[in-house]
Structure 1
Amino acid sequence: MSWVSAAAGNRHSKRWPDSARLAGVKSPALFAATTLALILLTPLVSAATACGGAATPIARIQGEGDRSPFTGQTATVEGILTLDARGKGGFRGFYLQQADDQADDNPATSEALFVYTRRPQGSLGQRLRVTGEVKEFHGLTELVNVRELEICGRGTMPEAVSLELSGEVTYEALENMRVFIPSPLTVIDSYNLARYGELTLAPRDRVIATEYLSPGPLARKLNDANGQITLDDRQGNRDPRPVPWPPGGLGADNTLRAGDTLRGVRGVLDFRFGQWRIQPGSPPEFIATNPREPAPARPAGSVLRVMTLNLANLFNGNGRGGGFPTPRGATNESAYRQQQARLVSALTAPDPDILAVSELENDGYSDNSAAATLAKALGPDWRYIRTPEKDGNDAIRTALYYRQDRVIPVGEAHRLTSGPFRNTGRPPLAQAFRLRNSNDPVRVVVPHLKSKSCRGATGADRDQGDGQGCYAHRRTRAAEAIADWLADLPEQGAGAGTLITGDINSYTRETPLEAFRQRGYTSMVAQHHPCTPAHCSHYTYRYKGRKGSLDHALASDRLAPRVVNAFTWRINADEPRALGYQHDLAPDSSGPWRSSDHNPVIVDIRL
């Protein structure tokens, strides 16, 4: 860890005080031991005398470890009120920091405390004298049971300490102190934005390690690395309204996307709910460095455009306006209409010829089915593929839609219902198509493999500690089975080649993708736009502050040379989930934004 005094510019990194040398102590370790012994043998000041009287230095109470050595004892301290969180919805207390001219010279000890009290005395910048009991509350050093609180006049606000984020940082020595982060920070996660007013920030955007590294201990270590911090809202209540970030309140036209940048992050360094946080003294500057993108235009000429999207559980009730709530998806008809309107916008704006979708309700092919209802919503030129085989026993299925005015199905559709998909899972769907002005058919296959959730995982399906999560073994077996199955399908159905596109629930370097590679199927997005730790502009999903692609477009060796472009359209994964159709803040919008939690993948094939 390193930090810099904003006032003096002195760097404090693994430094020990001049007072140690003056005392004749030769060793930092010996000095630390001597200091701790003196601290433990010297009683705390607990008498509630007048301002300026004897008081215990806050650094003594904090100590050099994770816990105060004086937990449970009564102490009197004096310091400057640096941030007040006693208001409605706040933390029921304030932050008190030692005045700079009274701070010690030990970089291992914090100079500030949180005072848990509803007593109203004191305001920002005032010097206070407080008597209370020392307590560790879930890792935060506090004064509680306050029995004396006296205003000692105006004080000078302590200078903020410059803080640099890195994976090796420990913040204990700056707990409750004023800090600022001079470098720009990137929003990497907004999962709790609407629930708790939180944003997760890091020096740069982060990539899932198995997007660019083979699974193994290094990938797991990189995924577990820290170097991030939470921007909080100084509130302890749930569901703050309006949502505090961005300034002006979160809304359909005032979004805050992962990948956006913040400058001027400053406030008090706090520890709550197992995370280090900045409780801001003033709002930082928000910069839209990851703006929303327009729909990608089609290339000129005879091109087949295939698009894949996870529909995020599109269930249509009974198909007649009732039947809600369903086992998944929208809880009422209004939410369903909102969900479908956004999905239709997302699915049609890029002007595709074929749609490969997953997480569609598995309720047959009647006029009231989810499959038929979506086709009708897409428009009069859209049709969907019906399969003679069973669509699986899962609540959701994969499906293929096509523009009948541009594309003609060739031969029969097929579902893989044997091997790993016998009586379980979501059977992949395969159908060959050709453009009306072309005689080169392309076989399109849409899979949806087992998720990474560990529920029910046993044996080889459990998390192996290599960065792939659970069920990697099952997903790999499924990938092998799909490739072997396709090798046995009629050759005439894939004259131009085969495209496997859908939600494989595996990042680009994980074993299921490797199984496909070994059998001649290459990720087109990874080939056209490879990800590195420092740069990854095309991805389909974000999870716990990291991005990568769970959804893929895999071309056979024959088809790959015909692919002129493959990319993602970043309309969903970067958007706050609070703007999704199922949230109480969901705007009444028919645009494509946050229509799902996955970004679509688009492939253009020259035929």
Structure 2
Amino acid sequence: MLAVSPVLIAAHPAAAAPSPDVLVAEVYGGGGNAGAALTHDFVELVNKSAAAVDLTGWTVQYRSATAAAGTAWQATALTGSIAPGGRLLVAEAKGQNGTVALPTPDVAGSIAMSATAGTVAVAATADRLTCSTPDECAADTRIRDVVGYGNAAVREGSPATGASNGAAVARDASSDDTDDNAADFTAGAPTPVNARGEVPGTPGGEPAPTARIHDIQGTTRVSPKNGAQVSAVPGIVTAIRPFGSSRGFWIQDPQPDDDPRTSEGLFVFTGNATPQGVALGDAVTVTGKVEEYYPGSADAAPQSLTELTGASWTVASSGNPLPAAVVLDAASVPDVYTQDGAPDTLPLQPSAYALDFYESLESERVQVADTRVVGATNTHGELWVTTEPGQNPTAGGGTLYGSYTAQNPGRIKVASLIPFAERPFPTANVGDTLSGPTAGPMTYDSFGGYGIAATTLGNLTSAGRTPEVTRDQKTTELAVATYNVENLSPKDTQAKFDRLARSIVTNLATPDIVALEEIQDNSGPDDDGTVAADQTLSRLVAAISAAGGPAYQWRSIAPQDGKDGGQPGGNIRTAFLFDPKRVQFVDRPGGDATTAVDVRKTWYGQTQLTASPGRVAPTDEAWANSRKPLAAEFLFRGRTVFVIANHFASKGGDQALDSRFQPPTRTSEVQRVRQAAVLHDFVSKLLASDPKANLVVLGDLNDFAFSPALRQLTSDGSLRSLVTTLPADEQYGYVYNGNSQVLDHVLTSPRITRFEYDIVHVNAEFADQASDHDPQVLRMRPSTGNDFLDAIDRLFEDWLDRHPPQ
């Protein structure tokens, strides 16, 4: 029971012959320790022979994990006999914690065993053993079996691993003895059984449950039994998660109550240990501690999952039918997403609110069928579907997030519990269909909210979508694009550079100017003080040229090390690519990481930037730990065009739409509103100097068209948001948790009236993507600043469009 720190020594496997009869079946040294359910340590023996074995004069012995010679063995004398195929339970020391007693032990001892490392032997002798190495013990013919666990110096082969306060090491069900503890034993929840087949609980092995699942789940989000120990909770095993850091299995009560607020499902958490001795359809009784688990962090306000931890269980029968799955569809899922207030404590209203409905089904079997994919398969093997196909559909088959109160309750995540080697997870794009039934327990995580841990997975029916290709700009059109290239650095593969290059050349039709976001420095995420990004940008330019694009040039300003946020060490920044055959960059010195660009008039009345490129108010607190806007001047067909590239502060720290607190808090919004105000002040100054200026403000503003930050930029009419000029079902370029939304924007000054704007869907809706953002392109005809000349120019441009130069 006391943790020890053994000294490791090298040892070769012992050469003892496998025992002909009695073996150690299970060892548990965590009894009564902090977090343990059971009160006692124990050793369980099994007789694998066909005849009873008289144990008179035998002992179970224990030594610490140390390699020191002369380390004393402790012994518990055995009595009676063990039946062929039977078990014998030896109780050892009792700890200070735990609430669950062992079944009545066949032998009682008092050895305090380590929870994590030690050696147990069963020996046909009453004498204390003296061996201190694997070879010495293998040579002792009195020893029937040796089990070393943790870092035990004495063991057979390699020691068994994974023992802890909540986990025993148990011999695999076959009871074979290969003389390799690591191969023969697996860590898992302790499952003591005595000679009469009794399990933890009252004598007789069939204890009455202290609670049923619906009693544990209760009528709110938090269990009324949170923190309490419960025993003999009955249920049918409906799913098993044998992988990851949150392993365990789901059970569901086949005898539900009549309260729709109380879930009949429960997750039994086994930590890093794969659940042993349970299979789908097993009827089990489970003992453990009720806990509310908050995925990620409770401070981030996710929903919680009610679980049983430190659990032990017994199987009463196998092959039982699984409880019928609750169907999730447009008829069953409420149209209203949530109720305001503190849902932790408010009684659930599953017929009124979608979040309450999902919570009332937590860990129960649910099913969707023939559902449209609204979030493409990600790298974690997850996708999103909608149970309400008519809910705010996009042109691409997704679900549009159009306001803070239009959360789209039909969205639900799908992950798989089926091994990928047995059934590969479908590679789905938005608009595809997951045909047939998809079923499994309702679960929740902080990276997607409520979802199905699928034991039955539908088949993918492709919608046949391919990435979009925008048209080429005409001779008289200036094409300006924005593209978030997602932490691009020389550490990335050439394949990513090539993918981005092809999308710029083919899908975006080689814009004249490309504002890039998330360009990392030359060392990428290595936090080594590097700030220059010439290698990143030059490699992208080379890839574009190799893909058949123009010989772009680039301009940027390196940030101060560690001052612009993003991935630590990456020093992300904005940058401009431009085609020198189509547009001229006006280079004007003076711009650096901390010098603010300003606006001035020449002696002949022309408005200019004091530096090009130059950063907008880079020392203002609004840009703390965030990217600074990059302003530049360009000339196109003799006309000045001002372009400001942006990447506003991220949404990190905001509570999710599915937060347990409603409405969720958007703390990051405050900084973006301040950033919008600073940027707006600069725009106002430029337009005050030249009200007819051709000005394009674009980039990843990390906020929605309906957000306060965008209102700050557009409410006085100095800038127009072009996303609102598109049809409503096309106003998106980013997909998050099944919601199609817009974070990237192009805004223009009032003088720009002749334009065409396109969000080019090449990434966000596709499983195979070069970035998680879709690029956008503006094709515009810059104004001369003179209405008469603009009218004449329009006639000439129209003629030139009909007669392009050869």
TM-score (norm 2): 0.50
Alpha-carbon distance in 2 for matches of 1:172, 1:418: 48
After superposition, the Cα gap between the structure-2 partners of 1:359 and 1:198, relative to the gap in structure 1 and judged at 3 Å, is closer
Alpha-carbon distance in 2 for matches of 1:283, 1:488: 60
Most deviating of 60-69 and 501-510: 60-69
Secondary structure, aligned partner of 1:447 = strand
For the 8 Å contact 1:409–1:434, the answer to whether it is kept is no
CA deviation after TM superposition for structure 1 residue 512, in Å: 4.2
After superposition, the Cα gap between the structure-2 partners of 1:88 and 1:445, relative to the gap in structure 1 and judged at 3 Å, is closer
After superposition, the Cα gap between the structure-2 partners of 1:314 and 1:199, relative to the gap in structure 1 and judged at 3 Å, is closer
Alpha-carbon distance in 2 for matches of 1:507, 1:434: 31
CA deviation after TM superposition for structure 1 residue 600, in Å: 0.7
Alpha-carbon distance in 2 for matches of 1:279, 1:464: 25
For the 8 Å contact 1:483–1:516, the answer to whether it is kept is no
Alpha-carbon distance in 1 for matches of 2:481, 2:472: 12
Gaps of 5+ in 1: 1-44, 214-218, 317-329, 456-462, 577-592
For the 8 Å contact 2:286–2:314, the answer to whether it is kept is yes
The percentage of aligned residue pairs carrying the same residue is 22
Quick check: 1:554 aligned with 2:747?
yes
CA deviation after TM superposition for structure 1 residue 566, in Å: 0.7
> Which of 426, 434, 441 is matched with 1:262 structurally?
434
The equivalent of 2:460 in structure 1 is 286
Alpha-carbon distance in 2 for matches of 1:418, 1:156: 66
For the 8 Å contact 1:432–1:443, the answer to whether it is kept is yes
The equivalent of 2:631 in structure 1 is 429
> Which of 344, 363, 368 is matched with 1:181 structurally?
368
After superposition, the Cα gap between the structure-2 partners of 1:386 and 1:567, relative to the gap in structure 1 and judged at 3 Å, is closer
Secondary structure, aligned partner of 1:508 = coil
The equivalent of 1:67 in structure 2 is 223
Supply the AA of the counterpart residue of 2:333: L
The equivalent of 1:194 in structure 2 is 379
Alpha-carbon distance in 2 for matches of 1:91, 1:466: 29
Alpha-carbon distance in 2 for matches of 1:365, 1:113: 50
Supply the AA of the counterpart residue of 2:480: V
Secondary structure, aligned partner of 2:764 = coil
The equivalent of 2:515 in structure 1 is 356
Secondary structure, aligned partner of 2:324 = coil
For the 8 Å contact 1:58–1:113, the answer to whether it is kept is no
> Which of 688, 701, 712 is matched with 1:504 structurally?
701
The equivalent of 2:553 in structure 1 is 384
The equivalent of 1:337 in structure 2 is 494
Alpha-carbon distance in 1 for matches of 2:645, 2:474: 29
Alpha-carbon distance in 2 for matches of 1:129, 1:501: 59
Gaps of 5+ in 2: 1-199, 294-304, 338-352, 523-529, 565-570, 589-608, 654-662, 782-796, 798-806
Structure number, greater radius of gyration: 2
After superposition, the Cα gap between the structure-2 partners of 1:202 and 1:338, relative to the gap in structure 1 and judged at 3 Å, is same
The CA deviation string for residues 8-40 of structure 1, in whole angstroms up to 9 with x for no partner, is xxxxxxxxxxxxxxxxxxxxxxxxxxxxxxxxx
For the 8 Å contact 1:210–1:508, the answer to whether it is kept is no
Secondary structure, aligned partner of 2:770 = coil
After superposition, the Cα gap between the structure-2 partners of 1:241 and 1:306, relative to the gap in structure 1 and judged at 3 Å, is same
The CA deviation string for residues 506-548 of structure 1, in whole angstroms up to 9 with x for no partner, is 322334433443243212232133x4xxx3x242334455343
Secondary structure, aligned partner of 2:732 = coil
The equivalent of 1:443 in structure 2 is 641
CA deviation after TM superposition for structure 1 residue 367, in Å: 12
Q: How does 1:70-149 map onto structure 2 within 5 Å?
A: 71-75=228-232, 77=234, 80-83=236-239, 85=240, 87=242, 93-99=248-254, 102-114=255-267, 123-125=279-281, 128=283, 130=285, 132-133=287-288, 135-136=290-291, 138=293, 139-142=305-308, 145-146=311-312, 148-149=314-315
The equivalent of 1:165 in structure 2 is 333
CA deviation after TM superposition for structure 1 residue 568, in Å: 1.0
Supply the AA of the counterpart residue of 1:596: S
After superposition, the Cα gap between the structure-2 partners of 1:157 and 1:464, relative to the gap in structure 1 and judged at 3 Å, is closer
For the 8 Å contact 1:538–1:567, the answer to whether it is kept is no
Q: How does 1:363-378 map onto structure 2 within 5 Å?
A: 369-378=535-544
The CA deviation string for residues 388-430 of structure 1, in whole angstroms up to 9 with x for no partner, is xx76646444333333334455796743757623587534222
Alpha-carbon distance in 2 for matches of 1:272, 1:449: 31
Alpha-carbon distance in 1 for matches of 2:579, 2:370: 49
CA deviation after TM superposition for structure 1 residue 283, in Å: 0.8
CA deviation after TM superposition for structure 1 residue 357, in Å: 2.4
Q: How does 1:233-248 map onto structure 2 within 5 Å?
A: 233-234=416-417, 248=424
For the 8 Å contact 1:448–1:504, the answer to whether it is kept is yes
Secondary structure, aligned partner of 2:327 = strand
Most deviating of 474-483 and 202-211: 202-211
> Which of 678, 685, 709 is matched with 1:478 structurally?
678
The CA deviation string for residues 488-514 of structure 1, in whole angstroms up to 9 with x for no partner, is 66789x5xx333333333322334433
The equivalent of 1:514 in structure 2 is 711
Alpha-carbon distance in 1 for matches of 2:393, 2:769: 20
Secondary structure, aligned partner of 1:382 = coil
The equivalent of 1:232 in structure 2 is 415
After superposition, the Cα gap between the structure-2 partners of 1:189 and 1:140, relative to the gap in structure 1 and judged at 3 Å, is farther
Alpha-carbon distance in 2 for matches of 1:173, 1:442: 60
Most deviating of 349-358 and 117-126: 117-126
After superposition, the Cα gap between the structure-2 partners of 1:305 and 1:465, relative to the gap in structure 1 and judged at 3 Å, is same
> Which of 401, 404, 421 is matched with 2:577 structurally?
401
Alpha-carbon distance in 2 for matches of 1:371, 1:279: 42
CA deviation after TM superposition for structure 1 residue 601, in Å: 0.6
Alpha-carbon distance in 2 for matches of 1:602, 1:133: 58
For the 8 Å contact 1:392–1:417, the answer to whether it is kept is no
Quick check: 1:487 aligned with 2:687?
yes
For the 8 Å contact 2:763–2:770, the answer to whether it is kept is yes
CA deviation after TM superposition for structure 1 residue 453, in Å: 4.8
Alpha-carbon distance in 1 for matches of 2:322, 2:533: 70
Secondary structure, aligned partner of 1:452 = coil
> Which of 602, 605, 612 is matched with 1:415 structurally?
612
Quick check: 1:298 aligned with 2:472?
yes
Alpha-carbon distance in 1 for matches of 2:533, 2:231: 74
Quick check: 1:595 aligned with 2:748?
no
How much is the aligned-residue C-alpha RMSD, in angstroms? Answer: 4.6
Alpha-carbon distance in 1 for matches of 2:309, 2:533: 66
The CA deviation string for residues 446-505 of structure 1, in whole angstroms up to 9 with x for no partner, is 3214313568xxxxxxx995686241233122322331343266789x5xx333333333
The equivalent of 1:324 in structure 2 is none
After superposition, the Cα gap between the structure-2 partners of 1:144 and 1:48, relative to the gap in structure 1 and judged at 3 Å, is farther
After superposition, the Cα gap between the structure-2 partners of 1:49 and 1:210, relative to the gap in structure 1 and judged at 3 Å, is same
Alpha-carbon distance in 1 for matches of 2:275, 2:399: 49
CA deviation after TM superposition for structure 1 residue 445, in Å: 0.0
For the 8 Å contact 2:584–2:636, the answer to whether it is kept is yes
> Which of 489, 509, 523 is matched with 2:721 structurally?
523
TM-score (norm 1): 0.64
Alpha-carbon distance in 2 for matches of 1:63, 1:502: 46
For the 8 Å contact 1:82–1:178, the answer to whether it is kept is yes
Secondary structure, aligned partner of 1:74 = strand
- Relative to its length, the structure with more helix (as a share) is 1
Higher relative CO (CA 8 A, sep ≥ 6), structure 1 or 2?
Answer: 1
Alpha-carbon distance in 2 for matches of 1:145, 1:366: 54
Secondary structure, aligned partner of 2:229 = coil
For the 8 Å contact 2:211–2:230, the answer to whether it is kept is no
Alpha-carbon distance in 1 for matches of 2:402, 2:258: 45
The equivalent of 2:481 in structure 1 is 307
Alpha-carbon distance in 2 for matches of 1:475, 1:202: 35
